[in-house]
Amino acid sequence: GDLMLDRYWFGDVSRISPEAPVPVVKIGKIEERLGGAGNVARNVSSIGARCALVSVMGSDDASRKIDHLLKLESINNQIIRDPELTTTIKLRVIGRQQQLVRLDFEAKPDKQILTQTLLEFESKVKESDVVILSDYGKGCLTNVAEMINICNTLSKPVIVDPKGSDFTRYKGANVITPNRDELHLATGISERDSDLPKKISVLCKELDFEALLLTRSEKGMTLFEQNGTQFHVPALAQEVYDVSGAGDTVIAIIGVMIANGETLQSAVKWANKAAGLVVAKLGTAVVVGEELFSED
């Protein structure tokens, strides 16, 4: 999926700039973390599962940072390099534990590199128990229809965290995990619709989804299966500190649990617990096995 480097600049704010009505942040600490599909892979690895990451990035400083972070997390690095591509960076400036601004640096990969990536993807799918596609709209999943077809041909479960206004491109995926806004943008379906289950069941049948997991923020998450079955779990977070990356955690844990032979409903329970843990942490965080599998 779409890979990026999440960079955090932390500092103190004690005055307003004389040049413009904005805070002056005196930077005291810099952190770099895997973002996007990298954060999904990090969540998979952090609970003890093996993970291979297929993506595209440049040959710049950010790409070298990503290589280092992947090695630290024991993630199998199967990333294609494009010297002409700018590796995606999301730079967040944090003052007094609040995000003040985010700066994005990005460019979309070209078709030739994406064709090469598709070949690498097919090679790794053959060795995998489950496939997770993390779409952030940065271009790496331009060929997502072909990717899903490869998974179906090889009888590998495929789970998609979607993006954009067209869910038809994910046709044939086993599970799709949109949030409320993503569902409405792509389908016009609102969680307030009185016939929500029926509408989602029709959508699943039309696009050949086994199920759709709707993540509903403070309301928890609801699994809608193609046959009309619903399964809801309430949110478990005691305190929400930062929701960034929560969707990465959800799809990662569902993938691991399905690969481990759990039912879809059981996988959703585990994913919901994991989401409740990560939203209490700052930034793109992960849940570790000791947290997730504790009895508390």
User: What residues contact residue 237 under an 8 Å CB cut-off, 6+ apart?
Assistant: 275, 276, 277, 279, 280
Q: Considering Cα of 168, then 172, then 173, then 178, what sign does the dihedral take?
A: positive
> Which residue spans within the chain are E strands per DSSP?
3-16, 23-36, 52-53, 56-57, 76-77, 80-81, 89-95, 98-105, 131-134, 158-161, 175-176, 211-215, 221-225, 230-233
Beta bridge partners of 232: 222
The question of whether 248 is a catalytic residue gets the answer: yes
CA dihedral 143, 145, 150, 153 (to 10 degrees): -170
Q: Which of 2, 6, 161, 248 is catalytic?
A: 248
Q: Side-chain half-sphere of 40: how many Cα atoms within 13 Å?
A: 27
- CA distances in angstroms from 125 to 51, 73, 134, 135, 157, listed in the order given: 11, 21, 15, 17, 10
- CA gap 120, 132 in Å, rounded: 15
Nearest Cα to Cα of residue 237 among 279, 265, 288: 279
What letter represents residue 153's amino acid? T
Residues designated as active site: 248
